[in-house]
């Protein structure tokens, strides 16, 4: 039998790795009439695994709700009631971005979508009022 130099456990002579700890350093094999070193010394218990600290999450506040409201209203405002929903999206997204504790990217996306929707509606209204030409809507090279 081989004795593991790492944990002191007995292993078969043909083992390459310790069956207890997985180590690969062994002392000379013991003869059958020689008492085991592992039997003479008790193996100390292994230390407990380290405890991972629990990171507290930031509380979900009203400004985080406003961030979500701003994003959703910017998307819905693309299709209906844009006069009401797009300004609501801009205000909610700005408040959510600067005062909210989560979802900064969602607030920025809501703000950008609301501004793009506003520009689309502005150019469409200017075109329908014959203030700007067809090139502003369909492009210069169309």
Residue ranges per structural domain of the chain: 1-40, 62-138
Q: Name, in order, each residue with C-beta under 8 angstroms of 50's C-beta and a sequence gap of 6 or more.
A: none
Residues forming a β-bridge with 131? none
Question: Measuring CA to CA, which residue among 107, 27, 28 is closest to residue 66?
Answer: 107
Most confident of 5-19, 42-56, 115-129: 115-129
Long-range contacts of 101-108 (CB under 8 A, 24+ apart): 101/58, 101/59, 101/61, 101/63, 101/64, 102/58, 102/60, 102/64, 102/67, 103/64, 103/67, 103/68, 106/67, 106/68, 106/71, 107/67, 107/70, 107/71
Q: What is the pLDDT of residue 26?
A: 72
Are 89 and 103 contacting, i.e. CB atoms less than 8 angstroms apart?
no
- Which band of pLDDT confidence, cut at 50, 70 and 90, is reported for residue 88? very high
Lowest mean pLDDT among 15-19, 26-30, 86-90, 113-117: 26-30
Look up the pTM and report it: 0.54
Question: Measuring CA to CA, which residue among 136, 107, 105 is closest to residue 119?
Answer: 136
Section 11-39 average pLDDT: 68
- Which band of pLDDT confidence, cut at 50, 70 and 90, is reported for residue 21? confident
């Amino acid at each position: 039998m081989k004795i593991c130099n790492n944990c002191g456990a007995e292993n078969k002579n043909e083992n390459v790795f310790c069956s207890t700890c997985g180590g690969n350093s062994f002392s000379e094999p013991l003869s059958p009439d020689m008492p085991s070193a592992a039997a003479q010394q008790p193996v100390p218990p292994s230390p407990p695994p380290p405890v991972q600290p629990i990171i507290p999450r930031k509380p979900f506040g009203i400004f985080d709700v406003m961030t979500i409201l701003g994003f959703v209203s910017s998307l819905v405002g693309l299709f209906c009631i844009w006069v009401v929903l797009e300004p609501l999206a801009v205000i909610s997204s700005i408040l959510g971005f600067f005062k909210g504790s989560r979802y900064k990217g969602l607030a920025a996306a809501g703000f950008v979508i609301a501004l793009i929707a506003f520009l689309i509606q502005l150019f469409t209204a200017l075109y329908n009022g014959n203030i700007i030409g067809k090139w502003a809507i369909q492009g210069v090279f169309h």
